[in-house]
Amino acid sequence: MIPTKKIVMVPGPVPVSPSILQALGSETRAHTDPVFVADFQALLGDLRDMLHCDGIAFLVAGSGTMGMEMAVVNIASQKDRILLCSNGHFGDRYESICERRGYRMDVVKAEWGKSVTVEEVDAQLAKGGYSILIMTHVETSTGAMIQLKEIAEMVKKKYPEVLFLVDGVAAAGGAEADMRWGIDLYLTCTQKALGSVPGMMVLWANKRALEKRESMGQIPESYVDFARWIPVMVDTKQYWGTPAVNNIMALKEAMHIIKEEGYEARCKRHAEDAAMLAEAMEAIGFKVACEKPFRASTLSVFLYPQDMPVDDAAFRAAVAEEGGLIAGCLGAFAGKGFRMGHMANLDKHMLVAMAAAVERGALRCGMKVEPGAALAVVQKKLALRA
């Protein structure tokens, strides 16, 4: 039998467009090649513009976790007090990163599937003494998205002494963020909503964050020290560590696609896809784990129907055989549902295929699903879309 082409439907890596893969596979240039130097510089400008960053967009080889670490060690010392608001697994990862550094920190945790609210952040900051707030834009383990604009604006207005650091790994390029709202540092990696392959992280730091770094003198870290990379990001002819040349060329193409679509249109498309897939999955009995208005536009956690018990591993294996790679759940949701990424450059074919693969997988597992019920939702919505 002809094997079914597999669509990557996990919350990153994402399906990568052919032109991006072509750029990745292009001949490797020297990092000193004037063409590469100019492309790299232009890309950094595009990244800065995307989030309206008045400082620097650092583009450095390493995964999103390195970005998390790089962001915090460059602005936090033992003198600081951090407020970390965690919505799940990746918020908790920040807790462990900060613990290793021995930072003074308080942690507010949301119930799984919910989000720490603007009011809760406000109430905690009002206790005083904090200089850094850390939050995760989209929590990949639960599909919860924070009310970023409202929180950033509140912090900027009421607590101007607080630097706001946001983990945007599962959001950047798909869920809107604007540093002018009051975000001081924002980070992501290349394999999620930006649409490229794994390998690099992007960390936006505004002027306030860079000033904080400058005030700190030497920090213990070397590779991830802002002071090492600032000369390179300001002038890409400079050298600190060899840039991941091909990965940068791939991201350049990914940014070209983003610019062509338009950042706002792209964020709107992600929100529409999320709502459409939620409706489609609900039509065959799955339940969105996260409540409105905290549902992420870039990924979802779908819980199995309570009246139709299904073996989690067998279900995901069946969906994979039907052509869709979905992810298992973590923490409190482990075994109770699956995670689906819907970010970056998904076309109509992929969206239809996603819904269809889940439907066939469910049918194969004996779930009482009306064939075509999820597909009907997707087809109707996509047909109306220009």
Per-residue H/E/C for 82-126 = EEEEECCHHHHHHHHHHHHCCCEEEEEECCCCCCCCHHHHHHHHC
Interface pick for ligand PMP out of 65, 117, 147, 379 (rule CB under 6 A): 65
The verdict on 13 binding ligand PMP (CB under 6 A) reads no
Task: Collapse the DSSP code of 236 into the 3-class scheme (helix H, G, I; strand E, B; otherwise coil) and give the result.
Answer: coil
Choose between 189 and 346: whose C-beta lies nearer to ligand PMP: 189
Choose between 51 and 362: whose C-beta lies nearer to ligand PMP: 51
The verdict on 172 binding ligand PMP (CB under 6 A) reads no
Interface pick for ligand PMP out of 170, 319, 346, 357 (rule CB under 6 A): 170
Interface pick for ligand PMP out of 136, 196, 206, 345 (rule CB under 6 A): 136
Please tell me what DSSP assigns to residue 195: -
* Measured distance CA(348)–CA(114) in Å, rounded: 30
Query: Closest separation between CB of residue 136 and ligand PMP, Å?
Result: 5
Of the ranges 19-27, 167-175, 287-295, 332-340, which one interacts with ligand PMP (CB under 6 A)?
167-175
Interface pick for ligand PMP out of 8, 56, 116, 169 (rule CB under 6 A): 169
Question: Under rule CB under 6 A, which residues in 223-252 are in contact with ligand PMP?
Answer: none
- Counting Cα atoms < 13 Å in the Cβ hemisphere of 283 gives 20
* Measured distance CA(263)–CA(190) in Å, rounded: 16
The verdict on 167 binding ligand PMP (CB under 6 A) reads yes
Query: Closest separation between CB of residue 12 and ligand PMP, Å?
Result: 6
Contact 296, 175 (CB under 8 A): yes
The verdict on 344 binding ligand PMP (CB under 6 A) reads no
Of the ranges 61-69, 148-156, 208-216, 222-230, which one interacts with ligand PMP (CB under 6 A)?
61-69
The verdict on 90 binding ligand PMP (CB under 6 A) reads yes
Choose between 166 and 367: whose C-beta lies nearer to ligand PMP: 166
The verdict on 189 binding ligand PMP (CB under 6 A) reads yes
What single string gives the DSSP state of each residue in 33-91?
-HHHHHHHHHHHHHHHHHHT-SSEEEEEES-HHHHHHHHHHTT--TT-EEEEEE-SHHH
Q: Residues touching ligand PMP: how many (CB under 6 A)?
A: 12
For 287, 311, 377, the CA distances from 357, given in Å and listed in that order, are: 17, 17, 14
Of the ranges 36-44, 163-171, 173-181, 203-211, which one interacts with ligand PMP (CB under 6 A)?
163-171
Task: Collapse the DSSP code of 61 into the 3-class scheme (helix H, G, I; strand E, B; otherwise coil) and give the result.
Answer: strand
For 13, 110, 113, 267, the CA distances from 293, given in Å and listed in that order, are: 26, 14, 11, 16
The verdict on 193 binding ligand PMP (CB under 6 A) reads no
Interface pick for ligand PMP out of 13, 55, 64, 243 (rule CB under 6 A): 64
Exposure class string for 47-71: b at 16+ Cβ within 10 A, else e = bbebbebebbbbbbbbebbbbbbbb
Which tokens go with 155? 């912090």
Residues 6+ apart with CB under 8 A from 116: 85, 86, 87, 108, 109, 110, 135, 146
The verdict on 63 binding ligand PMP (CB under 6 A) reads yes
Query: Closest separation between CB of residue 376 and ligand PMP, Å?
Result: 31
Which tokens go with 79? 């003198």
The verdict on 297 binding ligand PMP (CB under 6 A) reads no
Contact 270, 343 (CB under 8 A): yes
Interface pick for ligand PMP out of 17, 115, 140, 196 (rule CB under 6 A): 140
Choose between 12 and 195: whose C-beta lies nearer to ligand PMP: 12
Query: Closest separation between CB of residue 171 and ligand PMP, Å?
Result: 8
Binding site for ligand PMP (CB under 6 A): 12, 63-65, 68, 90, 136, 140, 167, 169-170, 189
